[in-house]
Structure 1
Amino acid sequence: MIDVRPFNSLGGADHGWLNAKHHFSFANYYDPSRMSWGRLRVWNDDEIAAKSGFPPHPHSDMEIITYVRTGAITHEDSMGNKGRTGAGDVQVMSAGTGVRHAEFNLEDETTTLFQIWIETDKPGAAPGWGAKAFPKADRTGRFSVLASGDAADDALTINADAKVLGATLNAGESITYSLAEGRRAYLVPAVGAVEVNGVALNARDGAAIKDEAEITITAKADAELVMVDSL
């Protein structure tokens, strides 16, 4: 099953400094048919104006992954962590027992990003934060694991049985991904257009995938892909 959620069907709100689109019910957007996809609870497509951002606010017991598409985001939290994550790179925050954090776009340009929330497997764990650069050359024509609950993956660590993957494809290229029985995938092209097992998907559309043993993704135009594989 491949359920396409076109970008123009997503909920969201324009706050001036933040133009947010929500793949799943979030804040004032509520759709009972789009509450979550397995353990994946939030996928927000955010555009953050220059010199603005999210002031300090709390979270607990959630794995929060930020994939920066353009620009950069600067993180600061109550654990004393501070860091800047640029385009194509990823940061993760395990909220655990509780943490306050702020996310600001200190750049002179709009920052665009995907913020992804996955339900934790370890409620009450110690909170943590990490960031890592992922050169796009390492993702050309194949999926690279960006964040994972599997210690064997060379990726940022999250407290969930899930993987966040990224890939870039040139027009005409294809990649195939095996989806284990009982697992679900959610795929979004950050840019470009693709076909997923023959189903068309445009930039920033979402594809909710289950009961597909193999996923073959073919780029109709140069594409940058982000996907979550989870229970």
Structure 2
Amino acid sequence: MLDYRPFSSLGRMDIDWLSARYHFSFANYFDPARMGWGPLRVWNDDKIRAKSGFDPHPHRDMEIITYVRTGAISHADSLGNRGRTEAGQIQVMSAGTGIQHAEYNLEDADTTLFQIWITPAAPGLKPRWETRTLPGVDDKNRLIPLASGQGLPETMGIYQDATLYVAHLEAGGEIAHQLAPGRKAYVVGFLGQAEVNGQLLNARDGLAVADVDRLTLTAQGSGSLLLADLPG
């Protein structure tokens, strides 16, 4: 099953400092058919205006992954962590028993990012935060694991049996990915166009995948996408 979700169909919120698109129900957007996909609960596509951002607010029992596409985001939290995550980097925050954080775009231009929430395998875990530089866009035509709870090397850990991958495809490039029985996937393109098992995916479209054992990702031109491999 391939459930194609074009960018134009996503939930939306536009205010003076934030332009957000929601792949799943969030904030003012509610769609009972889009409440999550396996443990994937939130996939937000945010544009944060320069010199603005999210004031301190709390979370608990959620794995929150931020993939920065352009610009940078500056983080501060109640554990004393401080850091700046820029395009080409990823940050992971495990909210666990509770954490309060703020995320600001302190740059002189807009920042664009994906914010991805995954429900942890167990509640009440120890909260934490880290940021890391990703492999560069010159690493082509393969799925690169970024954050995982499957014990994959050189990834940032999350408390769930899931893995988030990035792929940078050259024109005509093709990648195959096996999904184990009972697992799901969610795919979002963010540059260029690609086909996933024949379904065209434009930049910032989403695709929910279930009951499929093999995904074939084919670039229509050069492009990039994220793929979350998830338990059912």
- For this structure pair, what is the TM-score category when the shorter chain's length is used for normalisation? over 0.9
Matched residue, 1:128: 128
Q: 1:45, 1:207 → 2: CA distance? A: 14
CA distance in 1, matches of 2:13, 2:29: 8
CA distance in 2, matches of 1:129, 1:196: 32
Give the aligned partner of residue 166 of structure 2: 166
Question: Counterpart amino acid of 1:169?
Answer: L
Checking the alignment, whether the CA contact within 8 Å between 1:24 and 1:41 is kept in structure 2 is yes
Paired position in structure 2 for 1:88: 88
Q: Is the 8 A contact 1:24 1:31 kept in 2?
A: yes
Distance in 1 (CA, whole Å) between partners of 2:41 and 2:85 is: 23
Distance across 1 between alignment mates of 2:102 and 2:221: 36
Query: Which of structure 1's runs of 4+ aligned residues deviate more than 6 A?
Result: none
Paired position in structure 1 for 2:42: 42
**In 2, are the aligned partners of 1:43 and 1:115 still within 8 Å (CA)?**
yes
Structure 2 residue aligned with 1:98 = 98
Unpaired stretches in structure 2, ≥5 consecutive residues: none
* 1:16 alignment partner in structure 2: 16
- Cα RMSD, aligned residues only: 0.9
Q: Matches of 1:31 and 1:175 in 2, distance apart?
A: 32
The letter of the residue matching 2:196 is: V
Local SS of the residue matching 1:120: coil
Could you tell me how far apart the structure 1 residues matched to 2:223 and 2:160 are?
A: 27
Measure the CA separation in 2 of the matches of 1:139 and 1:10: 30
- Give the 3-state SS of the residue equivalent to 1:187 in structure 2: strand
Which residue number in structure 1 is paired with residue 149 of structure 2? 149
The SS at the match of 1:36 is coil
Deviations 1:115-169 (A, max 9, x none): 0000011210110001110122464110111000122332011111110111100
Alpha-carbon distance between aligned partners in 1 of 2:6 and 2:23, rounded to the nearest angstrom: 9
Aligned partner of residue 8 in structure 2, secondary structure: helix
- Relative to the length of structure 1, the TM-score reads 0.98
CA contact (8 A) 1:138 1:144 kept: no
State whether structure 2 residue 199 is matched by structure 1 residue 199.
Answer: yes
Distance 1:135 1:211 in 2: 30
Give 2:73's aligned residue.
Answer: 73
Percent of matched pairs sharing the same residue:
57
CA distance in 2, matches of 1:72, 1:126: 26
What corresponds to 1:27 in structure 2? 27
Structure 1 regions of 5+ residues with no counterpart? none
The alpha carbon displacement at 1:22 in A equals 0.1
